Structure 1
């Protein structure tokens, strides 16, 4: 029943030139429960004026049946329900009245306002049941007598924002899984797992991969939700047109899913899906598709451009994961092939080395006897003997290095880690190179002060580490200096072997410790060398639980840094000994050490002449200028 107050002047009704103002002025209000506007309460008139003047969607609901008054901003939110002026709320929004009706009645009965954010309302405003989200506030409206007669509502359709954030979240999750798959099937399962939580946008998904003959496997490698593989109906139009997608390289939209497969499960939605998009999964760099992705769409959202763009991004992310897995497998196979080639090469040289060892022993024995009687031999022959001696030593070093590699790979490398004075041992080993360094015109400094504690090393392995690094420095340093420094840094003993030689290009450093790797076109004293010395050093350092790195500037020099932990907890217990072997000296005999250093020095100098390089000339003195030996 209309309420009027003759004391309140009534102005021109529903002023303004908006669509809804014009409709308000011409609407037959007298035929409704609200009656003629001339008799409306001032509060209702004022609320309608505010509503019509606002650019924000506003609704005024009045009367026992809560009839609708709304402005131009609310028109798009009604969709096909517009015009609905003066329509009772339950009649207009019957499909959601069981949700909003009780809230409106609560405001009418209690007078307390209500605020709701991003509430799901399944509405039918475009000819189908649509998934929509709304944020609105309900406030009470009173008549001139103070009785609550209506509700003032400001409303916002937040569907695009809620759905958009949900889709972005899925794309972000797929992106986070990039690079984690180690196989194609694992990549497909990762995608299916991510889609498990995306049922509101993709209630069903399937990934079909290409077969070796170029076709498409009708059995999907992964589906989501798990275990849902739709089967075509016997009297339907068929299954998914997978071959067409691969042949054309284009997406195909299916709008008769229910005719093909019946009712597929819908996630949190009462209407089963009827649309699907089949998208090609492109290969790397424009290659042919690696498969097809079937994405069934929800019936609660229109398959518009935004929806299709989202599905294309899902397929692209999926293709990226699959292609990443393919690339990983290819790299893994390549690495395995290279490793196998490396093992075969090492095994070959190891076998050859074993074959060389016996004849080499038969050569070195008589050769030593001849050199012992060199005073009775013609000088020219003595020079030949020295060349033979130097090369047998070099060949023996190569044989032993290859055998060391084979033992390491087979796990048969036996170490004996003793608690040693590493400073004294390193000083003695470095001193063996003094004469050769001076002979090469290089400044040579050995700085090995006592360490705060002893270090557990295998002395034979440490000897090879030091000799290889010093031989390398001597070989590639044509002028300038070589320095050996030992120090304690934190919980580690650190050896640095530095030179001012030819240096290493930055691109070569990652491969510096690889077996059989040689840097071409580098200035050096000789071209001799097998390319396995530094690789062996890395393996021997690793057996000590240590690390080796290289710092280099091309044309300026190189520093090799070896770090060994103090203590013995990091070493195999069976290889640690607390006592030296009976009769074994704390430091090696100089003559024996010098003899072992000869092949390293010979390789570095590449001595082509018949001038003898003997243990005596190689050893020099460990107490000469520039050497700091521990007291």
Structure 2
């Protein structure tokens, strides 16, 4: 039976810790709690948790909260360990129970409490000791809605709190001692710091040596009477740290405590090198931290800071004595000027730098020596130095005795209504800087010409190839026509058309690179757009390349031109394919990132915010760093001659910048390449995406009257012929004024088709005038360079559209048909 009882006690008090063994051995039957075998689960379960936890914990149970605690809590109890087990909580911590009694009442009512670094004066070491604890009180239930006890999880933070307080004291003293210029300022800094921290040292005195005499300085108002106190013999001056008892009959200042200190420490403030100490510090010791092993080191750090400050004061005194010698031998100008710009004093260096003797300068004004163009600025700078702030690096020109001038850089300080300034001759630096700026301008011009040469050379190369195809095909067509042969005309026309379309594509890439390409931005969901390109992507790569499309977790949208985005992705896919001739892995990953200030590339600044990312990653041969630095330049290519134009990545760069985004590249030789396109996230729902299909461009289903305004005769003839062939009534004008005359004279017009860049009256102003005549007038702009002509496309109003040159005839007719068949817009 005894063995069974022992096993049961071990289940209630589990483990081999000291407190588990003490609890199993305790006579609980002699307490109001009774036999542990009969205790409720509301007590036994938290007891098991307490005894198996390494966190400091105690719990109280019953009406008087009988005390249980674990091994981790033993250091907090100190001398009370052992005797506290099973005792009422209010007896265990009688000295602080009043501080937490209201919290105990809250817990009995079923409400948990929390304390952060609470000051508790615990008598765990034989006296009220300063301690800080973070702890929570939580109710323990003995049945539904009935609180039977409480659980405390505690963490002692005494060392942290006191350590941070002392560190802040040292930091504050150091900051206050910066720049002090006298012993009185040193004492004031010490007083300010210990007014903020009256706990470690209830009072502080500083005894300074003055030529064999001791000056006692009190660092708080309460300590002033101690300046005349008679201290133990041999204490002043102190040669090393000494602790001594304070007379308990004396009414000592108490600082931040309610009881007076009973001990004090005296230690010297070290002198410079082997010099004697500057004096002695007397610190009253905290009555609630007896035997503190770190207090002496803390006091020495304070003494060390004071020593450095007093050394600086001594050095400053010595500097003042040397000031006259510095004045006489300074190579820089040192001057004193009053509020009327009159020189009160100047150093002899004025003669060396400007040629005038000092006696010929003193008593005269700025205007006699400053270059006239700089006089107004110099007088304004003097006014600022007298009132607002010291000058730093203010530059002005002073005349020399031979009629020239020298550049001087001035630094000032103001005292007693006078400006003290020193000026450094920077004429040589100015001349060197001007020469360097001229050289940099020449270098930048050379670099611009090199870039222009590369750009024009690339354009000439590609356009000459394309023009050869167009001109050659037309020449052969003309020869065949002269001989009455028509068999190969279709083939030659097709060849000329293909070359012209390639030329149009080249101009679009150039516009994209320069961020001048007309775009048609829409809300686009990149993940859906790329999913719709899956077949095209697989068809564009070889069978040896494994393609992976990673759908994103967040289906974000962006506002951009979806066709340009398709083109950009396809370009990157083809580049990745060409980088893996032997096969590999190609991944297209759509994701999202948040861009903070300065996160975007330096050469592609972007506004902070959320961005959609489209990354194309390959496992190809990669690139070196110098090659990667050039990949966004136009006509730069790593491919063989004829294998690429070098405009693909530059087009993607321009598209990203024009869409308010940016593009990055990560690459390493042998480790593949990742190009990431980042576009700003937009709100709204993207329209359905899909590949464009060829339209059935037939004859117009209904007629209409169209005014065509185009200054280029050949272009105007093509447009007029195409629209007339489609069944429209077309009237034409060669410039803006004649177009406006037509709109005024002919009556109703269904559509105005106008070039943007017209002589006399541009297309945009013509459209505004036409809308003034007929607010419902539909308008189709055609242009080869929309951005330069208009600045942007946001000015397009309802019932207006833009068509970019070059365009297919069928595409023009279809755009006109769609605009005329659409319901007439309601224009308010």
TM-score normalised according to structure 1 size:
0.54
CA-CA distance at 1:228 after TM superposition: 2.6
Who is 1:27 aligned against? 26
1:197-276 aligned at under 5 Å gives the runs 197-213=196-212, 217=214, 219-225=215-221, 228-230=224-226, 238-241=230-233, 243-244=234-235, 246=237, 249-259=239-249, 262-276=250-264
Who is 2:306 aligned against? 318
Who is 1:548 aligned against? 425
C-alpha distance in 2 between matches for 1:139 and 1:551: 77
Who is 2:106 aligned against? 106
- Report the 3-state secondary structure (helix = DSSP H, G, I; strand = E; otherwise coil) of the residue aligned with 2:118: strand
For the 8 Å contact 2:209–2:279, the answer to whether it is kept is: yes
C-alpha distance in 2 between matches for 1:17 and 1:414: 94
For the 8 Å contact 1:420–1:456, the answer to whether it is kept is: no
Compared CA separation, residues 145 and 415, structure 1 to 2 (3 A):
closer
1:551-570 aligned at under 5 Å gives the runs none
Deviations 1:76-109 (A, max 9, x none): 0011111210111111111111111220121111
Who is 1:373 aligned against? none
Who is 2:85 aligned against? 85
Compared CA separation, residues 318 and 14, structure 1 to 2 (3 A):
same
Deviations 1:534-591 (A, max 9, x none): xxxxxxxx99998632668xxxx99699xxxxxxxxxxxxxxxxxxxxxxxxxxxxxx
C-alpha distance in 1 between matches for 2:396 and 2:69: 87
Compared CA separation, residues 298 and 398, structure 1 to 2 (3 A):
closer
Deviations 1:197-256 (A, max 9, x none): 11011211111111313xx51x413422466332678xxxx5155x44636x21111122
CA-CA distance at 1:461 after TM superposition: 4.5
C-alpha distance in 2 between matches for 1:128 and 1:544: 62
- Report the 3-state secondary structure (helix = DSSP H, G, I; strand = E; otherwise coil) of the residue aligned with 1:203: coil
C-alpha distance in 2 between matches for 1:402 and 1:280: 54
C-alpha distance in 2 between matches for 1:21 and 1:400: 89
Gaps of 5+ in 1: 1-8, 347-396, 423-454, 467-493, 496-509, 514-541, 562-631
- Report the 3-state secondary structure (helix = DSSP H, G, I; strand = E; otherwise coil) of the residue aligned with 2:305: helix
CA-CA distance at 1:35 after TM superposition: 1.1
C-alpha distance in 2 between matches for 1:131 and 1:152: 24
CA-CA distance at 1:21 after TM superposition: 0.9
Who is 1:332 aligned against? 320
Compared CA separation, residues 420 and 338, structure 1 to 2 (3 A):
closer
1:415 aligns with 2:368: yes
Structure with more contact order per residue of length (Cα contacts < 8 Å, sep ≥ 6): 1
Count of residues paired in the alignment: 383
Compared CA separation, residues 69 and 321, structure 1 to 2 (3 A):
same
- Report the 3-state secondary structure (helix = DSSP H, G, I; strand = E; otherwise coil) of the residue aligned with 2:95: helix
C-alpha distance in 2 between matches for 1:250 and 1:74: 39
C-alpha distance in 1 between matches for 2:68 and 2:373: 95
CA-CA distance at 1:59 after TM superposition: 0.5
For the 8 Å contact 2:246–2:261, the answer to whether it is kept is: no
1:419-458 aligned at under 5 Å gives the runs 419=372
- Report the 3-state secondary structure (helix = DSSP H, G, I; strand = E; otherwise coil) of the residue aligned with 1:33: coil
1:459-478 aligned at under 5 Å gives the runs 461=401, 463=403, 465=405
For the 8 Å contact 1:14–1:21, the answer to whether it is kept is: yes
Residue number among 284, 296, 299 corresponding to 1:296 in the alignment:
284
Who is 2:39 aligned against? 40
1:406 aligns with 2:359: yes
Deviations 1:112-154 (A, max 9, x none): 2111111111222112112211100111111245521100110
Compared CA separation, residues 203 and 544, structure 1 to 2 (3 A):
closer
C-alpha distance in 2 between matches for 1:185 and 1:299: 30
Who is 2:750 aligned against? none
Compared CA separation, residues 308 and 101, structure 1 to 2 (3 A):
same
Deviations 1:262-305 (A, max 9, x none): 12222332211111111100012242111001111221222422
C-alpha distance in 2 between matches for 1:156 and 1:267: 27
Who is 2:139 aligned against? 140
For the 8 Å contact 2:371–2:405, the answer to whether it is kept is: no
C-alpha distance in 1 between matches for 2:147 and 2:202: 45
For the 8 Å contact 1:133–1:157, the answer to whether it is kept is: yes
For the 8 Å contact 1:419–1:457, the answer to whether it is kept is: no
Instruction: Indicate the larger mover: 320-329 or 399-408.
Output: 399-408
Compared CA separation, residues 250 and 102, structure 1 to 2 (3 A):
same
Deviations 1:28-66 (A, max 9, x none): 111111111111111211111111111111001001101
For the 8 Å contact 2:57–2:73, the answer to whether it is kept is: yes
Compared CA separation, residues 36 and 210, structure 1 to 2 (3 A):
same
Compared CA separation, residues 102 and 458, structure 1 to 2 (3 A):
closer
Deviations 1:479-513 (A, max 9, x none): xxxxxxxxxxxxxxx79xxxxxxxxxxxxxx9xx9
- Report the 3-state secondary structure (helix = DSSP H, G, I; strand = E; otherwise coil) of the residue aligned with 2:196: helix
C-alpha distance in 2 between matches for 1:196 and 1:420: 55
| TM-align CA RMSD | 4.0
C-alpha distance in 2 between matches for 1:45 and 1:294: 55
For the 8 Å contact 1:192–1:225, the answer to whether it is kept is: no
C-alpha distance in 2 between matches for 1:115 and 1:178: 39
For the 8 Å contact 2:9–2:36, the answer to whether it is kept is: no
For the 8 Å contact 1:60–1:69, the answer to whether it is kept is: yes
Compared CA separation, residues 421 and 316, structure 1 to 2 (3 A):
closer
CA-CA distance at 1:408 after TM superposition: 2.6
Compared CA separation, residues 456 and 420, structure 1 to 2 (3 A):
farther
For the 8 Å contact 1:68–1:88, the answer to whether it is kept is: yes
CA-CA distance at 1:188 after TM superposition: 2.0
C-alpha distance in 2 between matches for 1:421 and 1:256: 69
Who is 1:169 aligned against? 168
Instruction: Indicate the larger mover: 270-279 or 326-335.
Output: 326-335
C-alpha distance in 1 between matches for 2:163 and 2:113: 26
1:467-616 aligned at under 5 Å gives the runs 548-549=425-426
TM-score normalised according to structure 2 size:
0.42
For the 8 Å contact 1:550–1:560, the answer to whether it is kept is: no
For the 8 Å contact 1:205–1:225, the answer to whether it is kept is: no
CA-CA distance at 1:420 after TM superposition: 7.2
- Report the 3-state secondary structure (helix = DSSP H, G, I; strand = E; otherwise coil) of the residue aligned with 1:317: helix
Compared CA separation, residues 146 and 196, structure 1 to 2 (3 A):
closer
Hey, which of these two has a bigger chunk of strand by percent?
Answer: 2
